[in-house]
């Protein structure tokens, strides 16, 4: 598969880049592998420090509130009962570890499947390598307008991190930037358009 290379002004440079079919056009993209990879990534981002107090952890008297029978209403235990305001919570969240492991081959298959979906939907735009003289959000916004992806959720993929480009992108709503080596299944799917620099394609072709 070949894609045209544009400049930051949205003009076709006349150059072409070749996408590796083993990465961007695999015969059978595996949706289940994509699901497992995204689930693992999101799970590993969680701190797992959530906690609520159960009735044994609430401060308060353990004295029985009233007699068991003859009161004309429901029977009650102590004030820490989950039925009362300020009582303990039933089966509340406890700290836990959400970390899971996924085989490297499955993760690689998931990333190649995600990239194949992107290529099939024409959501990959290749631009020639560029640099901004200074951090300037306006320069990146003008580039998205020229490439006709303004307002979409966009991810810019660089071969090596560039400070000026990074600072220009980070304040733009619904835009993100990363290097080709940092790409994973979640990042590939979490956008409506991928702007990929020409030198990044060589790295991505080796996935």
Summarised one tens digit per residue, pLDDT across range 33-69 is 999 999 999 999 999 999 999 999 999 999 999 999 9
Residue 163 CA to residue 161 CA, distance in Å, equals 6
What's the pLDDT at 47? 96
Q: Which two tokens stand for residue 196?
A: 């990929």
What's the pLDDT at 1? 86
Residue 64 CA to residue 55 CA, distance in Å, equals 14
Quick one: how far is CA 34 from the chain centroid?
13
Total-model pTM: 0.85
Question: For 82-116, what is each residue's pLDDT tens digit?
Answer: 999 999 999 999 999 999 999 999 999 999 999 99
Residues paired with residue 175 on neighbouring β-strands, in sequence order: 154
Q: What are phi and psi of 180, to 5 degrees?
A: -60, -35
3-state DSSP assignment of residue 84: coil
For the domain made up of 2-47+101-204, the CATH class stated in words is alpha beta
Question: For 140-180, what is each residue's pLDDT tens digit?
Answer: 999 999 999 999 999 999 999 999 999 999 999 999 999 99
Residue 64 CA to residue 77 CA, distance in Å, equals 5
Q: Are 141 and 150 in contact (CB under 8 A)?
A: yes
């Amino acid at each position: 598969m070949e894609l045209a290379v544009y400049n930051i002004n949205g003009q076709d440079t006349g150059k072409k880049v070749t996408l590796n079919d083993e990465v961007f056009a695999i015969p059978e993209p595996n949706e289940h592998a994509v699901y497992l990879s995204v689930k693992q990534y999101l799970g590993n981002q969680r701190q797992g420090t959530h906690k609520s107090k159960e009735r044994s952890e609430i401060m308060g008297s353990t004295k029985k509130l009233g007699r068991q029978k003859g009161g004309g209403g429901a029977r009650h235990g102590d004030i820490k009962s989950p039925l009362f305001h300020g009582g303990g919570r039933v089966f509340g969240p406890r700290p836990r570890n959400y970390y899971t492991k996924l085989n490297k081959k499955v993760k690689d298959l998931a990333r190649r499947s995600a990239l194949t979906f992107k290529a099939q939907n024409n959501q990959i735009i290749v631009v020639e390598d560029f640099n901004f003289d200074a951090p300037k959000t306006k320069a990146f916004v003008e580039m998205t307008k020229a490439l006709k992806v303004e307002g979409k959720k966009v991810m810019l993929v660089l071969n090596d991190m560039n400070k000026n480009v990074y600072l220009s992108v980070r304040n733009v709503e619904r835009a993100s930037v990363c290097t080709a080596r940092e790409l994973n299944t979640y990042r590939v799917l979490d956008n409506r358009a991928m702007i990929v620099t020409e030198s990044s394609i060589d790295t991505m072709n080796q996935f």
